[in-house]
Amino acid sequence: MSIGEVLAQLRVEFPDTTISKLRFLESEGLVEPQRTPAGYRKYSWDDVARLRFVLTAQRDQYLPLRVIREQLAEADRDGLPGSERHRPSLVAVGPDGEVPGRELAAPVGESSETRLDRTELLSRSGLGERLLAELERMGLVVSQPPGWYDADALVIAQAVAGLAAYGLEPRHLRGYRTAADREVGLFAQLVAPLARQNDPAARARAAEVARELVGLSQRLHAALVRAGLRGTLGR
């Protein structure tokens, strides 16, 4: 298959995937498609299985590429055939069965290109108009011109709706915005040098670094909250 055909295969399950992303994963040694005499990439079904493994491990487990590469290398050494060779390793889960970090990811099927109008956002999140207006006033939910909301806005709205069911109000969430802004400033210093380069591979690497940093931050936050509540729960 050509790289375009592979992209069409993967985008059904991983809508954020781009050609730059596939080229980046190749440059990182995670997949090695054959080349035609003219230099065009040709992917096998085994290559697609490897890519699906990588994208699944990133989306569901927030594994860094180094760990994914090690898992693939170990499976290759074991000589496992077909899909068994590219099945992601199991990871530890929380006491309620959640995968750390996954509960904060964008909903399955959502992508950075998701566009919802205000009515759709209210319907899918369960928020009321008054609460959404308050979140926008505080800067927790931001619309994009001319009034569309993306997948992250939906995740935020759904999370706030869930917290509101327990009695938490927007004023209780100001600290989240402050903490997020601090992390944005910190992480931006790490990814900006790559993002400013004209090389598509460098920009893809910047997006990958940002994804890994966000995943690690979510896991750290969740672990700190669980540890802090342990005394209250008597565990």
Domain housing 218: 102-233
In the three-class reduction of DSSP (H, G, I as helix; E, B as strand; rest coil), residue 213 is classed as helix
With respect to residue 30, please indicate whether it lies within any of the assigned structural domains. yes
Same domain, 81 and 106: no
DSSP states along 49-85: HHHHHHHHHHHHH---HHHHHHHHHHHHHHT--HHHH
With respect to residue 210, please indicate whether it lies within any of the assigned structural domains. yes
pLDDT in tens, 36-92: 888 889 999 999 999 999 998 888 777 778 888 888 888 877 765 444 444 444 343
Same domain, 196 and 167: yes
Long-range CB contacts for residues 110-114, cutoff 8 Å, separation at least 24: 110/15, 110/151, 110/154, 110/155, 111/15, 111/16, 111/151, 112/16, 112/150, 112/151, 113/15, 114/150, 114/151, 114/154
What six digits make up the tokens of 148?
A: 């569309």
pLDDT of the residue at 112: 53
Is the pTM above the cut of 0.75? no
With respect to residue 92, please indicate whether it lies within any of the assigned structural domains. no
Residue 13 belongs to a domain with what CATH number?
1.10.1660.10
With respect to residue 90, please indicate whether it lies within any of the assigned structural domains. no
Give the rounded percent of residues in the chain with a pLDDT score beyond 70: 84
The number of distinct structural domains making up the chain is 2
Same domain, 110 and 173: yes
